[in-house]
Amino acid sequence: MHFSKLRLTGFKSFVEPTELLIEEGLTGVVGPNGCGKSNLVEALRWVMGETSAKQMRGGGMEDVIFGGTEQRPARNMAEVGLYVANDDRRAPAQFNSADELEVVRRIEREKGSHYRVNGKDVRARDVQLLFADAATGARSAGLVSQGKIGSIVQAKASDRRALLEEAANIRGLHTRRHEAELRLRAAEQNLERLDDVLKALEGQRAALRRQARQAQRYRELSEKIRQAESIVLHARWTHTMEERRKAGAALAAARDKVTALTQEAAAASAAQTDSAASLPGLRQREAEASAELQHLTVTRSELDAEERRIATARSEAETRLRQIADDVTREKTLVEEAATALARLTGERDELIAAGEGEAEAQEASGAALTQANRDAEEAEEAVHKTTEEIAVADARRAALERQLRQAEERISRLDRQQADLAERRAELIRQAVPEAERTAAEQTVTEAAAAADAADAGIPAAQEARDDAQEAEKTARAAAREMDAAVSELETEATGLRRLLMQAKSEAAPMVDAVTVAPGYETALGAALGDDLEAPALDAEAPPTAGGWREGADAGGAEWPAGVEPLAPKVTAPAALAARLARTGIAADPAAAAAAQPALAAGMRIVTKEGGMWRWDGFVQTPGAPSAAAIRLERRNRLAELDRQLADRRGALDVARSEAEHAAARLAEAEDAVEAARRARNAASDALSKAKSAAAEIESRVAAVDTKLAALDDGAARLAGEREEAVTAQGQAAEELKTLPDVEALRADSSRLRAALSERRAELVEARTEHDRLVREAESRRTRLSATEGEIKSWEQRRERADTRLSDLDTRRQGEEAEIARLASRPQEIAAEREKVVALIEAAEAKRRQAADALVSAESRQTELDRVAREADRAAGEARESLIRAESQLEQINQTLRVERERIQERLDCAPDEILTKAGIDPEAPLPDAEQTQRSLDRLSGEREALGPVNLRAETELEELTEQIEGMERERDDLIGAIQRLRSAIAALNKEGRERLLAAFNLVNGHFQTLFRRLFGGGEAHLKLTEAEDPLEAGLEIMASPPGKKMQHLSLLSGGEQALTAAALVFAVFLTNPSPICVLDEVDAPLDDTNVDRFCALLQDIVKETGTRFLIITHHRMTMARMDRLFGVTMAERGVSQLVSVDLARAERLRDAG
């Protein structure tokens, strides 16, 4: 699998459709900074599934869309396509049928991005896994962006582990393990929530069982409350209707009183109106007189004010005249001062011009002297510097050689200690090796735990099957008990109602009907025969003769019945007092037979039918109709007796059903406990298996770690031997070079002589510079003063001109003020004459106003008395109207009460007020219980019902639904437990595979890294080691390096160029371990010098030959450009818009050679 082409449209600065061919070998991308080269790398990351806007150098993912320039509008869409050859069929199964894959990512503003592979929409995860399985992707180690090398150097050891994971190609495993862990956590959380829900539902089921029992009690109380409420509502309605009649009579009396008082108030109002009509004219005359007087008063006040204003204005004019005289004196003084200043400044200007003659020649001469002195000083200083540098070089080289000697001695000593330490560590590792017996025991433990887990799993289905059978049996028993309980409750409700009705109809003396028992079906016939006589009481022998009721002693002789008629007495059990009456009563099969037999009846005889018809001996006929009250009472007594017999049978059956339901529930609880015990056993076995597997994996990890560390120690021992040999050689070379260094003392003597000459030249330079600076300052001072003098002369001339102008203005103002004073002197006499006329008019107006006011006061007093009389009449009429309103309000309140009662009756009983008793089954003609006593009974019953609290009338239905829900959730719980076990096994397998692949990759990467390091540095040693954790999946990656001539040390202690080259070696070591289809290097060669760049490029060419990987290299280095097979140039001819041009260097060379 390899990449062949990258296509961009509207991506960042590439607004036009652009294609970048990714061919075999090295492809270079060049261009000035800021032209958009790195946008190509980001496009490649983006299409491979990058999700972080920060990694794309943006605040949001929509920032990758072209944002517009001054000449071009912004785009609403960006699209990047990557063409991938799939000749080797290494793509995932869903894409593996095509020879070439076109992976396209498209983003639109406000809509987000989506992916397509060969035109088919796919998930971002599918694209990420496609590239992850190919050892590449948006975060691949093969995409080395700007700063990536530096980030490897600065990264912590644990962060560098990502490079090993890339080499081991376990990014896909990590992704799958992460998804499995997420699913495992979600499943465990779902299991916890499911357990909590099941506990809560069990509590709800117990509560619903209690609620079902409460619902039955609630229905019984509701029926009793309905009876009592009917009686109370009927009593309220009757009482309110009586109150409405009384309120209507009071309203009629109030209306008559209002009519009489309203007529009296109208007469008083007419007199008041006539008097009020004369008041406006009088008020008008009084107002006109007052207005005239006010006008004359205001005129007098205005004359006084004008006299005061004239006096003030004259005083102000005289003050201004004095001020003008003072201003004229000041301006004349200013003119004189200006003449004196101008004479002085003109003389000073002439003196400065004369002093400045010849200053240019003097400055030129001092400048030449300064230049010569400066040249002599620089020559002397150069000689001193050269000598000093020679001394410093000699001293530095001597110190360096001495330091190298010391370092070589220290290095040899340190290497000897390290070799001894390595030998000791190797012996210690051999002692720490895991015994074979421990490994065998761990494997045996895993096998036994697996067998126990299988056995525990096998026990669960049987327990669950038993639990399901117990659930079905419990459900059946519970349903039977509910049906029987409902039947008993129905019978008890009916029996209770019948007893209540029979008790309500009892009077103080027991009626005869209570002593009579009739065969079922004959109740109506007996009621037709005896009628209301059955309601009469049975009398004993001591009862007074005048008492009404049934007495014994009447003749009960037999009677002859016509054909088709049978005697009724055999169907009835009654006291002896009824014997005579029953003996003369027969029953016919139908009305026709009774009518046919009626003419044959003897005196006192009668025939009845079961339907309630009656044919008497005297010709009277009663057709069948509604049964009488006695018949109804007899039917109710018979029905109550039948209900008592049925209840006795049903209650026994109910006890049996409840007992069976309780036994079934107990068996179900035992079965559920058995299932739970099986599950706990299964979970315990699974935990034991997981622990055994973890222990075995840990032992294998320890074995692998010991092997890895032994190999690293062997490599380290060989490396230390080579380093010691290099140190001994370096020690000898430094000692030889130390003997060849020049004599430093002779150089220091020459330096002292040259420094003395330099001091003399510097003194001459200071003197020349001081003289030159003095001449320059004096010339500059004269020029500055001359310029200031010219400005002062001009300023005094302007002041003199302004003073002359102000003197002319002041003379004009003085003449105007003198004319104003003369005008104001004559006005006070005119004002005095006008004031005398106004005073005379004011006195006449005052007399006229007093006359009008007296007439108005008299009329208003009369009007006040009439107003009082009218108010008294209105008050009396108002009180009468208020009484009328109260009467109307009271009647309306009563009507409102009737409406409320009607609505309450309709709401509670669903009938009209006159139908209350009939609706409740109460005889309207019968006397009703006391309303207050009934209300107390109603309150007591309501209290009992309220004490029940909220009652769920759907409790039984909800109980069945809840049971079904619990059973379904228990099945889901079993499925979840199985899924959790499978996920744990899968995660353990992924960890084991990842650990094995990571250790194998570490050995490969370490080998490649050591080889590449020596190739890039031309020698030296380096190696990798795992740190920070025993588990390779959690360990860090530390880099140790020893460039030629240096000791072994951490990467962070190397120089900048050495760090960059070492990090590059690590990147390519990872790359060689698991080559990816493409490698992108973004200005990786920036910190390297020419020699290292040449080695770097040679390494790239070798990697291309070995792996066939296609390289895309962004660079500014001329040597890197020269080694590319082809170059693409990124330009920005139009600001903000990138363009791509290409040159195939390999083809150009072939053309040149052929030409």
Residue numbering of the annotated binding site for ATP: 32-39
Per the structure block, which two tokens stand in for 565? Answer: 């008629």
C-alpha closest to that of 552 among 591, 574, 579: 579
Are the CB atoms for 261 and 876 separated by under 8 Å?
Answer: yes
Quote the tokens at residue 739. Answer: 């003997």
3-state secondary structure of 1036: strand
- Phi first, then psi, for residue 26 (nearest 5°) are -105, 120
Q: Which amino acid is at 928?
A: L
Helix (H) or strand (E) holding 1110: strand 1110-1114
How far apart CA 258 and CA 882 sit, in angstroms, is 9
Rounded to an integer, what distance in angstroms lies between the CA atom of residue 17 and that of residue 8? 6
Report the distance separating Cα 640 and Cα 638, nearest Å: 5
Sheet holding 1078-1082: strands in order across? 143-144, 1078-1082, 1110-1114, 26-30, 1126-1134, 1137-1143
Q: Hey, what amino acid is at 196?
A: D
Kindly list the distances between the CA atom of residue 307 and the CA atoms of 298, 317, 648, 841, 870, in Å, as whole numbers in the listed order.
14, 16, 128, 20, 57
Which two structure tokens, joined as six digits, stand for 246? 């009384």
Task: Check the CA dihedral 917-921-922-923 and report its sign.
Answer: positive
Strands 1126-1134 and 26-30: parallel
3-state DSSP of 932-966: HHHHHHHHHHHHHHHHCCCCCCCHHHHHHHHHHHH
Element holding 1005 (H helix, E strand): helix 955-1017
The closest of 230, 222, 225, 227 to 913, measured between CA atoms, is: 230
For 789-806, what is the HEC assignment? HHHHHHHHHHHHHHHHHH
Q: Find the radius of gyration of the CA atoms of the chain.
A: 63
**Can you tell me whether residue 80 is helix, strand or coil?**
strand
Give, as one character, the DSSP assignment of residue 11.
B
The string of DSSP codes covering 495-560 is HHHHHHHHHHT--SSPBGGGG-EE-TT-HHHHHHHHGGGGGSBBP-TTS-TT--SB-S--------
CA distances from 787 to 113, 354, 360, 619, 777 (A): 75, 15, 19, 161, 16
Query: What does the H/E/C string look like for 804-827?
Result: HHHHHHHHHHHHHHHHHHHHHCCH
> Within a 10 A sphere around the Cβ of 314, how many other Cβ atoms?
16
CA dist list (Å): 122 to 3, 92, 1154:
20, 13, 49
Alpha helix (H) residue ranges in 825-914: 827-909
Maximum CA extent, the chain: 185
- Report the alpha-carbon distance of residue 214 to residue 205 in Å, rounded: 14
Alpha-carbon dihedral sign for residues 725, 728, 733, 736: negative
Annotated binding site: 32-39
Residue type, 522: Y
The two beta strands, 77-85 and 2-9, are: antiparallel
Measured distance CA(247)–CA(888) in Å, rounded: 8
Cα–Cα distance for residue pair 834/562, rounded to 1 Å: 146
